[in-house]
């Protein structure tokens, strides 16, 4: 990955992490992909953020992504499995979210082709099968919310 693209991605991750911390989320399993992977015993890639909100008793797993929704799905799935193994009580109390660039968000919402075959219905990621039936992208029965991340 080119250095300037990596720096933009890291800056986006930091903005999101700082915003979620300001909303009251704690990061009990670390604040980097490597820490999260190690703490949760994840094989493969993990999400960028896993937070616990002590006031609401809920969890949030987030991935910041430019355009590869399939990779984001894999990272959310791996992280959810790791969280459920360590925190069984998180079942049914965990939200999943992808933050993406304005360009990718526009393709998800306005381009008939979507983004890699993915589209949004409301705020949630999904796809059409070969018969044009809609399916939400879900991990452990949890739909994946997608939000547009604006650069400062």
Tens digit of each residue's pLDDT (9 = 90 or more) over 109-129 = 998 888 989 999 999 999 999
Q: Confidence band (pLDDT; 50, 70, 90) for 37?
A: very high
Average pLDDT, whole number, for the chain?
A: 91
The percent helix, strand, coil of the chain (3-state, each to 5) is 40, 30, 35
Count of domains for the chain: 1
Task: Inform me whether the pLDDT recorded for 88 exceeds 90.
Answer: yes
On whether the CB atoms of residues 6 and 30 are closer than 8 A, the answer is: no
Q: What is the pTM of this model?
A: 0.91
Is 91 inside any structural domain?
yes
| Structural domain boundaries, residue 61 | 3-103+141-148
Calculate mean pLDDT across residues 31-50: 93
Q: Does residue 61 fall inside a structural domain?
A: yes
Q: Report the pLDDT averaged over residues 91-108.
A: 95
């Amino acid at each position: 990955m080119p250095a300037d693209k990596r720096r933009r991605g890291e800056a986006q991750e930091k903005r999101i992490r700082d915003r979620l911390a300001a909303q009251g989320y704690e990061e009990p399993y670390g604040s980097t992909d490597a820490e999260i992977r190690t703490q949760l015993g994840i094989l493969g890639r993990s999400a960028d953020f896993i937070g616990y909100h002590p006031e609401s008793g809920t969890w949030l797993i987030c991935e910041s992504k430019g355009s590869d929704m399939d990779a984001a799905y894999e990272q959310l799935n791996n992280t959810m499995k790791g969280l459920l193994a360590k925190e069984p009580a998180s079942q049914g109390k965990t939200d999943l979210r992808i933050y993406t660039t304005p360009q990718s968000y526009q393709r998800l919402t306005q381009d008939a082709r979507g983004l890699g075959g993915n589209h949004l219905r409301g705020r949630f990621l999904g796809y059409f099968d070969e018969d044009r039936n809609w399916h939400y992208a879900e991990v452990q029965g949890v739909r994946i919310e997608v939000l547009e991340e604006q650069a400062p």
